[in-house]
A and B are shown apart, each in its own frame.
Chain A
Amino acid sequence: MKRLTRVIVFLLCIVLLAGCWDQKQVEKHAYVFAIGLDKGEENDPIEVTYIIVNPDYGSQQQGGGANEPAFETITFPANDIISAKDTANVIVAKEITYDIARLVSVSEDFAKEPDFIRWMYDLTKDPEIRRDLQLLVTKEKTSDFLKNNKPVLETRPHEYYKQALERGKETSMIPFSDLLTFFRITETGEDLYLSMYGTLEKTPTTNESTDNFKAGELKASGISGQAQFAGSAVFMQGKMIGTLTAEETRLAYLLNNTLNPQGMVMTFQDPKHEKYKVAGRVSLDSPAKVKLSIRDNKSPKINVHIPLNIKIFTNHSMVNYTKDYSKKEILKKSIEKELEQKMNTLVEKTKQEYKAQPFGWSLTARKKFSTIPEFNSYNWLKKYPDAEVSISVNVRLGQFGRQSEVPKMKELRK
C-alpha cells in the first residue's frame, strides 16, 4: 500500500512537473500552407502573406462548411515570420501554425535584396518549419501571386501546389529546391542555387527553341488565373542574381552529377529535315560522370560525360530511322551535337554572367584536396570562370514509339 502510494505520487509529480505544455488540439489551429515574403513598405521590414487552408472544404461532414472557400489569403506587414504568427491573429481567429506549411514563396524583388538572406534564416528558427519546404520565387509581388492564383480544378491549395510542383520537378521544367539545399549551398558560397520560378504575369515571347521559355512566357490561352511554373531563379550566396529558362534548367539537371532526372521529354532538330523536330523522352543511364583535374593551383579542367537514353516519339519527316542504321546514326550524332552545343552555351553563360555554376561541381573539386583549408585557399569561386569544360554527350537511341515505323510519303500519296 505504501509502495503503491509512493508510485502514484511519483507519477503524479512527473505529470504535474512536465505538464502537457506542448499539447494543442488540432482543430484549434489555423493551418498555413504557404508563407509569402515580400519587401516591406517604408518602415516595415517585410510583408507576410499566408495561405490558410480550410479543412472543412470538400469534406462530407454534415451541418455546414460546404459553401466556405478552400482557403483564405491574408497579407500584412511584419518584422519577421515568427512574430507574424501572433500579428495574424488580429485578423484570423485561430492560432497560426506552420505544421503543414510546404511552400515559401518570395518575390523576385525581395530575393534580389542583399538583406534577403537575413529574413530567410528566420525559417531555421521555428521548430514547426521543416527543412523540406519548397522555395518558390515569383516574378511579381508574392502577395499578388498567392492571392490571385485560383486554379479551377485543384481548388484545394495544398493539393494544387503539391501536384503542380511535383510534376514540374518530374518534367524538370523547374528545379528541385528545398530549404535544406538552399541553406547548404548558400553556406558553402561556391555554387549557384536554383529555385523554382513561377508567375501569373503573361509575357509571351517567341523563341527558336520550344522549351526555351520561363514562367509566364508560354503562350497559353483558355486558362484563367492560373500560374505558370517554369525555369529557375538563380541564387548566389543567398541573393537572387538571375533566371534560367526551362530548357536551361533541364540541361542543368543533366549536367549535375548528384541528380538523376528521369523522363523529361525534349525536342531536337531533325537532321534530315530542317523544318521538323523530333521529340524524345530523355533519361540518364547513370548520373553525369564528372572528371575534374586541378594542376598547380590553376583553374580546373572539367570533363563531363553524360550517357543518355532517348526514346524518340515523333517522326514528322517520315524518314525511316528505325530500319536504316546510317540514318539512325546521323540522328544520334545530331542530337549529341545539339545537346553538347546547348550545354556549352549554358556553361559559358554561367562563367560569364554568374561567375559560378549550379551543377554541384564544387563537390567533386573538394575531393581533390585533402583538407578543407587547402580547398579554401585554392579559392574555387575565383578559378571557375577560367575553367576548361569539355562536355561529351553519349546518346543511346531506344525504341521509336509504340509503332516504330511510319509509311513513306511517296507510297502514301501515289
Chain B
Amino acid sequence: MRRKYMRSKAKREQSTPDIGSSIKETTIEKNLNKTVQIFQSLYSFPKNKDVTIRHFHIPALQKDAALLHISTITSAETIDTDILKPLMTINEAAQQIDDLITVPSTSKENKVKTICKKINEGSAAIFIDGEEEAILINVAKFEGRSVEQPQNENVVKGPKEAFNELAQTNISLVRKKIKSESLVAESFTISKRSKNELYVLYISDLVDDKLLANVKKRVQSLNTDSIQNLGILEQYIEERRYSIFPSTLYTERPDRAASFLEDGYIVLVMDNDPACLVLPATFWSFFHSSEDHYLRFMYGNFIRLLRLIALFISVFISAIYVAITNFHSEMIPGDLLLAIIATRDKVPFPGLVEVLLMELSFELIREAGLRVPTPIGPTIGIVGALILGQAAVQANIVSPIVVIAVALSGLSSFAIGDLSMNFAIRLMKFLFIFAAGLVGIFGITALFTVGFFYLVSIKSFGVPYFSPLAPSYQSSGDTIFRRTLQNELFRPGYVKPKDITKR
C-alpha cells in the first residue's frame, strides 16, 4: 500500500515539473525591460502587493536601472538613504555601482534562480540596462520578537536571555558567549519549496568530523517541501521515530547551547524557532539543567538529587500504589496498610481504575491548562484543585491517598524540565501502572529491567544513550552528580572531541 503510494508519487514528480523552472535556470539578459519582465512574471508582479519594482536613472553611469525588492522583509530606510539616494543624486561620473552606494556588502549574480533566492531572503536586486549581472544588496529586515526571558527553562541564578525566532539573533547570542574564530555557523537550505535555512553551529577544532559529516548528510538528504521549525526537523533527522525517548535536545537557552558547543556537540539553529537543537543527546542532557553548574557544588548536587528522587517518584509512585493495593499488602507497615484500607473501603473501583482515573484527570488538567486562553486560565486551576481533589474524595470516587500519590507524581514530573523527557516519563508512568496492575511489583521490576535494557541500547547520532555511565567513556563524570569545576577535566569522550582535555 505504502510502496504503491510512493511509486505513484515518484511518477507525479517526473511528469509535472516545477512551474517556471525552465525560466529559473536561465541567466538574465542585457535588455533591462526583458529582465524586468521575467521577474514580473515570476513574482506575479501587479497582483503580488509587497513586491516593489522601482525604475530610475543613474546619472553617474548614464544608464537606466530597476530596483526589485519585497517591501515586507526589507528595510525601506536603508534602500532609500543608502541605495536610491546616492544612485539618483550623485552626478559625478563613476565606473561602478559599488562606488556609489553606501551599504556594507554587495554581490553580483546572473542566474535567475539565485537572484530569486536572494530576493526571497530579503535582498534588493538592482538591474542595470546593458549589464548581464544583477547587483544584490542585503537589506533584510524580518519582523520578530526581541530577546526575552526563557519561558520553559527558568533559572534563579544565571543568564536570563532566551533564543527568539530570528536565527541571526540566536547565532549572535551564541557568539556573545563563545568569542572564537573557530565557532562556525554553516548554513544549509533544507527544504525544496519554502527554502528553509538551517544553521549548523560547531567549534571546528573540537567537533568530531565524522559526527559533523553524519549530521550534515542527514540534514542535506531531507527530501521535503517545507520544514518550518526545529520541532519538525527533529522528527526528520532522528533515528527512532517510534521511541518514547527523545534523541535530540531542544533548548531555548543560549548559555546551554554554548556550553554544549564547547564540549564538542553540534547545535542546529533555524529561523522561526525560539530554541536550538543539540546533537547528539544523552539521557543526562535531559536530566541536567544549566543551573546545576551555576550553583555552588553542594547546592548544584542537592538539586540533582532532588531531581533524581522526583524522577523515580513520578515514574513509580502510582504504580507502587497499584501493586501494593492489589498484590503486596504485606509489604508495607501495618498502620499504613490499615490507613489505605480505611480510605479504600468505600471506593467502588479497583485500585487500578482508581489510579488511572486520577492520572487521566491530572493529564487533562495539564493539557487543558496549556491550551486554555489566558483570561480564563485561573478558572482551570480552581476546577482542577477543588472539583477533582476535594469533591472526588468526598464523593468516595477516589481515596485521598490516590490523590496524594497522583499529585506527588504530577508535581515531581515537573522537576524534569525538558519537554520531551517529561512526555517520556508521563508515558512510562502509565506503562508502569499497567504492569503493576497486571502482576504487581514483579511487573514493575520486569518492565524496569526491559526498559533499562532498551535505554542502554539506543543511540543518538552514534552516541550511546547512557554514556558516559554505561558504556564508560572518558569524561568529567557529569552524570547523576557533578564534580567540582576544578575536577571536571575532560570533555565528554563519547562525542569524540578533537581535544579531550578542558585545560
Which residues of A are at the interface with B, using a C-beta cutoff of 8 A? Answer: 15, 18, 20, 22-27, 29, 31, 33, 53, 55-56, 59, 61-63, 65, 97, 99-100, 102, 128, 130, 158-159, 162
A-B contact count (CB 8 A): 75
Check A97–B342 contact: CB distance below 8 A: no
Check B334–A97 contact: CB distance below 8 A: no
**B440 contacts which chain A residues (CB < 8 A)?**
22-23
**B367 contacts which chain A residues (CB < 8 A)?**
none
Nearest-CB residue, chain A, relative to B446: A14
Alpha-carbon distance between A31 and B335 when the two chains are bound, in angstroms? 12
Check A24–B326 contact: CB distance below 8 A: yes
- Cβ-defined partner of B439 (8 Å) among A18, A33, A159: A18
Instruction: Identify which of residues 287-346 in chain B touch chain A, using a CB-to-CB cut-off of 8 Å.
Output: 324-327, 329-330, 334-335, 337-346
- Cβ-defined partner of A61 (8 Å) among B324, B334, B337, B342: B342
Nearest-CB residue, chain A, relative to B330: A99
Known contacts A25-B325, A55-B338, A55-B342; 16 further A-B pairs (Cβ under 8 A): A22-B327, A24-B326, A25-B350, A26-B326, A26-B340, A26-B341, A26-B344, A26-B351, A27-B341, A33-B334, A56-B345, A59-B342, A59-B343, A63-B346, A99-B329, A128-B330
**B334 contacts which chain A residues (CB < 8 A)?**
33, 100, 102, 158, 162
A53-B338 CB under 8 A given contacts A20-B439, A26-B344: yes
Check A25–B351 contact: CB distance below 8 A: yes
Check B345–A55 contact: CB distance below 8 A: yes
A selection of 15 A-B contacts at a CB cut-off of 8 Å is A23-B440, A24-B326, A24-B327, A26-B351, A27-B345, A27-B347, A29-B329, A56-B345, A61-B342, A61-B346, A99-B330, A100-B329, A102-B334, A158-B335, A159-B335
- Cβ-defined partner of A63 (8 Å) among B327, B329, B396: B396
- Cβ-defined partner of B337 (8 Å) among A15, A25, A31: A31
Check B327–A27 contact: CB distance below 8 A: no
Instruction: Identify which of residues 406-441 in chain B touch chain A, using a CB-to-CB cut-off of 8 Å.
Output: 438-440
Check A97–B439 contact: CB distance below 8 A: no
B58 to nearest A CB, angstroms? 67
**B394 interface residue, CB < 8 Å from A?**
yes
**B326 contacts which chain A residues (CB < 8 A)?**
20, 23-26
**B325 contacts which chain A residues (CB < 8 A)?**
25-26
**A128 contacts which chain B residues (CB < 8 A)?**
330
Alpha-carbon distance between A14 and B335 when the two chains are bound, in angstroms? 35
Check B439–A26 contact: CB distance below 8 A: no
**A159 contacts which chain B residues (CB < 8 A)?**
335
A157 to nearest B CB, angstroms? 10
Check B337–A130 contact: CB distance below 8 A: no
B434 to nearest A CB, angstroms? 10
Which of B338, B343, B438, B439 counts the most chain A CB atoms within 10 A? B338
Counting contact residues on chain B (CB < 8 A from A), the size range is 20 to 34
A95 to nearest B CB, angstroms? 12
Instruction: Identify which of residues 380-413 in chain B touch chain A, using a CB-to-CB cut-off of 8 Å.
Output: 394, 396
A179 to nearest B CB, angstroms? 15
Alpha-carbon distance between A116 and B342 when the two chains are bound, in angstroms? 37
Alpha-carbon distance between A248 and B327 when the two chains are bound, in angstroms? 44
**A62 contacts which chain B residues (CB < 8 A)?**
394
A333 to nearest B CB, angstroms? 48
**A102 contacts which chain B residues (CB < 8 A)?**
334
A31-B351 CB under 8 A given contacts A15-B438, A63-B396: no
Nearest-CB residue, chain A, relative to B339: A59
Check B350–A100 contact: CB distance below 8 A: no
B437 to nearest A CB, angstroms? 8
Nearest-CB residue, chain A, relative to B324: A26
Check A56–B344 contact: CB distance below 8 A: no
**A97 contacts which chain B residues (CB < 8 A)?**
329
Check B342–A65 contact: CB distance below 8 A: yes
Nearest-CB residue, chain A, relative to B334: A100
**B329 contacts which chain A residues (CB < 8 A)?**
24, 26, 29, 97, 99-100
Alpha-carbon distance between A61 and B341 when the two chains are bound, in angstroms? 11
Nearest-CB residue, chain A, relative to B434: A15
Check B341–A55 contact: CB distance below 8 A: yes
- Cβ-defined partner of A130 (8 Å) among B330, B338, B394, B396: B330
Alpha-carbon distance between A116 and B361 when the two chains are bound, in angstroms? 56
Alpha-carbon distance between A53 and B440 when the two chains are bound, in angstroms? 25
B80 to nearest A CB, angstroms? 62
Check B327–A23 contact: CB distance below 8 A: yes
Alpha-carbon distance between A100 and B14 when the two chains are bound, in angstroms? 76
Nearest-CB residue, chain B, relative to A162: B334
**B438 contacts which chain A residues (CB < 8 A)?**
15, 20
**A22 contacts which chain B residues (CB < 8 A)?**
327, 440
A278 to nearest B CB, angstroms? 40
